[in-house]
Chains A and B, each alone.
Chain A
Amino acid sequence: MTTTNITGDTSGVGLVEAKRAHFDTPLTLRSGEVMPAYDLVYETYGTLNADGTNAILVCHALSGHHHIAGHYADEPKNIGWWDNIVGPGRPLDTNRYFIVGVNNLGGCHGSTGPASINPATGKPWGADFPMVTVIDWVHSQARLADLLGIQCWAAVIGGSLGGMQALRWSVTYPERVRSTIVIAAAPYLTAQNIAFNDVARQAILTDPEFYGGNYYEHGARPVRGLRLARMLGHITYLSDDQMGEKFGRGLRNGNLSFGFDVDFQIESYLHYQGDKFAGHFDANTYLLMTRALDYFDPAREENGDLTAVMKRAKSDFLIVSFTTDWRFSPERSREIVSSLLAAEKNVSYAEIDLAFGHDSFLLDDPYYHSIIDAHLKKVQA
């Protein structure tokens, strides 16, 4: 199939458009609940070859979606969230690969999620939307692969929660992944990670505008809670050094107000990030995504033995971490590496010295991109 969106613009993929796929085969979720039918929105860049062997799946993180690269005709400023790595001559080279981005089930960017209408009630799903987990996303993505004619991904790649999906792909569909690229991720969340997620969720759950998750029908949105959740999350995405360098103790208006309005630049920045996010993101999706993070722990299937789980994989692996990432520190990536080494898999590990904490994985850094590029060049399209 050809779904080329490339305009010939050498700086990236150029104009793109989102597509929608409807699935009406029921999907049994890990929780035991069943999604009778659902939609997934996705985007593709590049051209799938005749054998369907050159496809790369890009999995998104907590707040991501299917719009990875390029821009829309009617929204020229809406550039994809990982545009810097996708395009002709870039590591995810659209001259060579067919790149697929999909908005996960439960998302709020077009795929079926809590804000969608539940056909059973005619009202938004809200609190009734089933809990989705990483393995559920992988199963739903596999159905999208079937639809697109992709038997085996050349690579599945993702950062953070996206990296966890890539890891999950490698052991859930070992025959369908040739290379797995896991960036700034962890094999499971620590108590501290879960604690941060809990505070974020509590901010949303206790917002009076939350209405037990059914705020849509009240014409309300738990903006305050979502804003706080995002502010907290944002602190954990950045490094202390980077915050210090960027904001330090800088004052917004040059002097202290002796009140509780914004004095420091970091406050101004966090408020801006919180407002921006709370303005468009769906709080129920945020709850689901953070819970999917909490629940991710593939080693559970083998009584905590990650090596035993990773033995199922047949793909090559590239594991990448960032020195200043304290949300999922290099030590967490090393846990994945250790298990892959013990399972005698083909694995390389790069620990990249970048200053931007967890968010480093989105940076347009030449060395970081060379590592991805070098690894992908080994993968036969």
Chain B
Amino acid sequence: MNPAAAKTLANRSDWNIIASWVQPGERVLDLGCGDGSLLKLLIEERGARGYGVEIDAQGVLASIRNGINVVQTDIDHGLAEFKDNAFEHVVLSRTLQTVRHTENTLREMLRVGREAVVSVPNFGYWKNRQAVLNGRMPVSEDLPYQWYDTPNVRFFTLADFEALCEQMGIVVRTREVLDDSGKPVLEEHNFLGSLGVYRIAKG
């Protein structure tokens, strides 16, 4: 792996895990792809191909500059441009909490992809609970925004997310949980985990 890619991976602790789930030649759709770095990594390091989806104009420009195929669209309006089962993986990295139509987004992801890869910050992480107990909204590595400027519109814990999956008949195939320094959490994940990374599929 080249040094730049290794550095990028270190910065985004969930990307390592996501990359490990992608096999060469697989088609990936990266929702909320930002500047396209994750997709670029998956293409260059994992031999994947695919598209990014981004709503922000500067992200679209940066993705094109990064050599990524990017489609400017609002995930909250669905993924009508994409046909059923077009991708092996549909990735949503640290974005589900910014989406208003949570259920529809998950449904759309599992319509266009055989599997969805979702990483979500855990509002139930003990440091976040402590912040609330102390009377303040949490600001952390995985929830880096102040309450007044956050793009997040949905606030949920890993347990909440898993309950929603169950309610929707979605199966969690794999779950990896990390603390705020990116180290794996092996027990009490809803308390000790800062970020959850899931592979989910239709049940």
Pairwise interchain contact A347-B72, C-beta atoms closer than 8 A: no
A333 nearest CB across to chain B (Å) = 10
For chain A, give the interface size range: 20 to 34
Q: Is B71's CB within 8 Å of the partner chain A?
A: yes
Q: Is A375's CB within 8 Å of the partner chain B?
A: yes
Rounded to whole angstroms, the CA-CA distance of A341 and B27 in the bound complex is: 12
A275 nearest CB across to chain B (Å) = 38
A378 partner, pick from B27, B51, B61, B64, beta carbons under 8 A: B64
| CB within 8 Å for A349 and B72 given contacts A367-B57, A371-B60, A374-B61 | yes
Q: Is A351's CB within 8 Å of the partner chain B?
A: yes
Number of A-B contacts (CB under 8 A): 56
| CB within 8 Å for A346 and B69 given contacts A353-B57, A367-B57 | yes
Rounded to whole angstroms, the CA-CA distance of A333 and B63 in the bound complex is: 19
Q: Is A27's CB within 8 Å of the partner chain B?
A: no
Cβ-closest chain A residue relative to B112 = A341
| CB within 8 Å for A337 and B61 given contacts A342-B83, A342-B86 | no
Pairwise interchain contact B69-A347, C-beta atoms closer than 8 A: yes
With a CB–CB cut-off of 8 A, which chain A residues contact B83? 338, 341-342
Q: Is A370's CB within 8 Å of the partner chain B?
A: yes
With a CB–CB cut-off of 8 A, which chain B residues contact A318? 64
Pairwise interchain contact A349-B70, C-beta atoms closer than 8 A: yes
Pairwise interchain contact A341-B71, C-beta atoms closer than 8 A: yes
A338 partner, pick from B27, B64, B80, beta carbons under 8 A: B80
Rounded to whole angstroms, the CA-CA distance of A292 and B70 in the bound complex is: 31
Q: Is A35's CB within 8 Å of the partner chain B?
A: no
Rounded to whole angstroms, the CA-CA distance of A370 and B80 in the bound complex is: 27
Q: Is B12's CB within 8 Å of the partner chain A?
A: no
Q: A-side binding surface: helix, strand, loop or mixed?
A: helix
Pairwise interchain contact B64-A375, C-beta atoms closer than 8 A: yes
With a CB–CB cut-off of 8 A, which chain A residues contact B82? 338, 341
CB neighbors of A among B70-118 (8 A): 70-73, 80-83, 86
Q: Is A352's CB within 8 Å of the partner chain B?
A: yes
- Proximity bits, A358-371, B CB within 8 Å = 1, else 0: 00000000010011
With a CB–CB cut-off of 8 A, which chain B residues contact A347? 51, 69, 71
Q: Is B65's CB within 8 Å of the partner chain A?
A: yes
Rounded to whole angstroms, the CA-CA distance of A216 and B60 in the bound complex is: 51
A82 nearest CB across to chain B (Å) = 20
Rounded to whole angstroms, the CA-CA distance of A375 and B69 in the bound complex is: 10
| CB within 8 Å for A374 and B64 given contacts A338-B81, A341-B86 | yes
Rounded to whole angstroms, the CA-CA distance of A367 and B64 in the bound complex is: 12
Rounded to whole angstroms, the CA-CA distance of A342 and B51 in the bound complex is: 12
Rounded to whole angstroms, the CA-CA distance of A374 and B57 in the bound complex is: 13
Cβ-closest chain B residue relative to A345 = B69
Rounded to whole angstroms, the CA-CA distance of A146 and B27 in the bound complex is: 38
Rounded to whole angstroms, the CA-CA distance of A341 and B29 in the bound complex is: 11
Rounded to whole angstroms, the CA-CA distance of A377 and B63 in the bound complex is: 13
Rounded to whole angstroms, the CA-CA distance of A334 and B80 in the bound complex is: 9
With a CB–CB cut-off of 8 A, which chain A residues contact B65? 374, 377
A334 partner, pick from B63, B70, B81, beta carbons under 8 A: B81
CB neighbors of B among A301-353 (8 A): 318, 334, 337-338, 341-342, 344, 346-353
Beyond the given A350-B72, A352-B57, A367-B57, please list 11 additional residue pairs across the A-B interface where CB-CB is below 8 A. A338-B81, A341-B82, A341-B83, A344-B27, A347-B51, A347-B69, A348-B64, A348-B70, A350-B57, A351-B72, A374-B64
A-B contact pairs, 12 of them (CB 8 A): A337-B71, A338-B80, A341-B86, A348-B63, A348-B70, A349-B70, A350-B60, A350-B72, A351-B72, A371-B60, A371-B61, A374-B65
